[in-house]
Amino acid sequence: MKIDRVVTGGPCWVELGTADPAAGQVFYGELFGWRAETDPRPEAGGYTMLLREDAPVAALTPLYAPGQSSAWAVSFAVTDADATATAVTEAGGRVVLGPLDVFDAGRFAVVADPAGAVFALWQPRAFGGAAVFNQPGSLGWVELLTRDVPRATRFYPEVLDWSVTAGEWYTQWGIDGADFGGMMRMDEHFPASVPAHWRPYFAVTSVDDTVREAGRLGAETLMAPMDLAGGRRIAVLRDPQGASFGVYPAGTEG
């Protein structure tokens, strides 16, 4: 992405909710070199910070709701979580949880767009979000997969003030024209049971090497490495607990 720091409206954090937190720590630790630090407070519910060297880049949690599947969740920075949650409902989305305070770190809400894609709003206080973007082992792109591209194209600019660059096959999201993510239409290749969702992409030194290492660690390749216009090479993986994510080479931002 062309954004290298937390900005209002942009992606600021990603969290993995997983059925096996211990296995998740091992998998991502070996794949991306992340170090895990679990909050010892009982009220933190096993929340685990994932660090690239000493910089926070993501988090990992147990599954909190019955029937919840392992998945990555994307958070976007806002100045007022309550006001933005209200804007979500006024634009046709819904509030899933919150808004709630997280100790002194910030205030958050979990919301869904009109097609059901879930994402989070983060109003930073003591904790701003990821300290690194676009470097190997950190967040570099976020992508919405949806069956209703026209409605999403209206919803997100209204709620989060994004700029939109629409191509024939792909739409890119930006803040004042600085692209940080995109949108892909879910076609007949996606089973009807797969809902609209957000997917994070992590920057890596080598896509092909990362895919091979992920396979060795028990991941499934959903999309084999492929080249895109502009020299970018991407792949999509599913971790051993079922959470999907993408990878692309660092240094080929947006």
Place of tokens 């080479």: 249
User: First and final CA of the chain: distance in angstroms?
Assistant: 5
- pTM of the model as a whole: 0.95
Same fold yes or no, 11-124 and 138-249: yes
Instruction: Give tens-digit pLDDT for 50-77.
Output: 999 999 999 999 998 888 899 999 999 9
Q: For the chain, how long is the longest CA-to-CA vector?
A: 49
With cut-offs at 50, 70 and 90, classify the pLDDT of residue 254: low
**Would you tell me how many other CB atoms lie within 10 Å of the CB of residue 120?**
22
With cut-offs at 50, 70 and 90, classify the pLDDT of residue 46: very high
Domain boundaries along the sequence of the chain: 11-124, 138-249
The CATH number given to 138-249 is: 3.10.180.10
- Predicted pLDDT of residue 21: 96
The CATH number given to 11-124 is: 3.10.180.10
**CA torsion through residues 143, 181, 47, 219, sign:** positive
The least confident of 32-36, 188-192, 244-248 is 188-192
